[in-house]
Structure 1
Amino acid sequence: MTLLARDVMTADVETVDADDEVADVLGKLSRRKFNGFPVLEDGELVGVVTQRDFVDLFEPSDRTLWIPIGLPPFLETVEYAIDLSWDELDAELDLAAAAGKPVRDVMTRDVETVAPDASIDDVLDILATDDPNVNRVPVLDGGDLVGIITREDVVRAFRDERASKP
């Protein structure tokens, strides 16, 4: 038996709307056991928002000064990073500034999807990319979101399939 996307997907998918505010989605995410939501606009999948998207929102990279130092006897320049932020204050200011933004401003837009009749190999090809942030694959049927497949779903399906064989 060949596993298909419909065999391993979770059909009851929690979503957020592209206009939902970052603060609301962060609150919703904190109460869930998963780390991301498909983002819909007028019922159509337009992206995915994950914990990683929120981490990127609060990274202090724009407040880090990189100083190249090349002193003999070193042949190559060594870079030292100095964080110019005030840590907690900056994080609070970042949160306050971002809290009212719509999720569309932080979501990942280019999301690979599969159809319900896609093979498990098609799903694995997406999940096994070099991008460590790809942890879920939305399942679309005629443009409608009908399910989602996580890495955990695939592992569980393979475990169950192996357990069912004599």
Structure 2
Amino acid sequence: MAITARDLMTTEVETVAPDDEISEVLTRLARAEFNGFPVAEDGKLVGIVTQHDLVHIFQPSDRTLWIPIGLPPFLESIEYGFDLSWDGLDTSLGLVKNARKPISEIMTENVVTVTPDDELDHILDLLADAESDINRLPVLENDVLVGIIARQDVIRAIRDQRRATN
């Protein structure tokens, strides 16, 4: 008997709404045992927001300063990169600037999902795709969010299946 998404999914799914403020979602995420939320409106999945999305708004990616180290005329210099994006001022300004914005401004809209009847092999393919870097898969049935599968759920199921056959 094949393991399906229905066997793996958690049915009590914590969600956030598209108009929830970023600061509110950050607070909820800090208290959660996971690192992201499906974004739902009237039971329909409209996006997903992850810890990475939230951290990214406070860390500009283009703030690296490259300094050549060596003796003039720098023919054999070594360059060291210093990331300037995490100084206290940037973080504070980012928080003030973004805290009241709705989560819909930073959520991922094109969410990879599965149905309750999708089999383990398909789920493994989605979670193992390095380019997508997916940690959780919302489960939709008739376009309604009915569950979520985390990587840990899949690992636990494989472990349990191996133990049962040994």
Task: State TM-score, norm by structure 1.
Answer: 0.87
Q: Which residue matches 2:75?
A: 72
Once residues 154 and 33 of structure 1 are traced to their aligned partners in structure 2, the CA distance between those partners, rounded to angstroms, is 17
Q: Quick check: 1:52–1:133 contact (8 Å CA) kept in 2?
A: no
Q: Which residue matches 1:97?
A: 97
Secondary structure of the structure 2 residue equivalent to 1:140: strand
Q: Which residue matches 2:112?
A: 112
Structure 2: state its 5+ residue gaps.
none
Once residues 31 and 75 of structure 2 are traced to their aligned partners in structure 1, the CA distance between those partners, rounded to angstroms, is 54
Structure 1 position 162, deviation (Å): 1.9
Percent of counterpart pairs with the same letter?
A: 55
Once residues 165 and 83 of structure 1 are traced to their aligned partners in structure 2, the CA distance between those partners, rounded to angstroms, is 50
Q: Which residue matches 1:33?
A: 33
Once residues 24 and 86 of structure 2 are traced to their aligned partners in structure 1, the CA distance between those partners, rounded to angstroms, is 26
Secondary structure of the structure 2 residue equivalent to 1:91: helix
Q: Which residue matches 2:136?
A: 136
Q: Which runs of 4+ in 1 moved over 3 A?
A: 62-71, 78-86
Once residues 161 and 86 of structure 2 are traced to their aligned partners in structure 1, the CA distance between those partners, rounded to angstroms, is 52
Structure 1 position 64, deviation (Å): 3.4
Structure 1 position 163, deviation (Å): 2.2
Q: Which residue matches 1:160?
A: 160
Q: How many residues were matched structurally?
A: 163
Q: Quick check: 1:29–1:35 contact (8 Å CA) kept in 2?
A: yes
Task: State TM-score, norm by structure 2.
Answer: 0.87
Taking only aligned residues, the RMSD between alpha carbons, in angstroms, comes to: 2.3
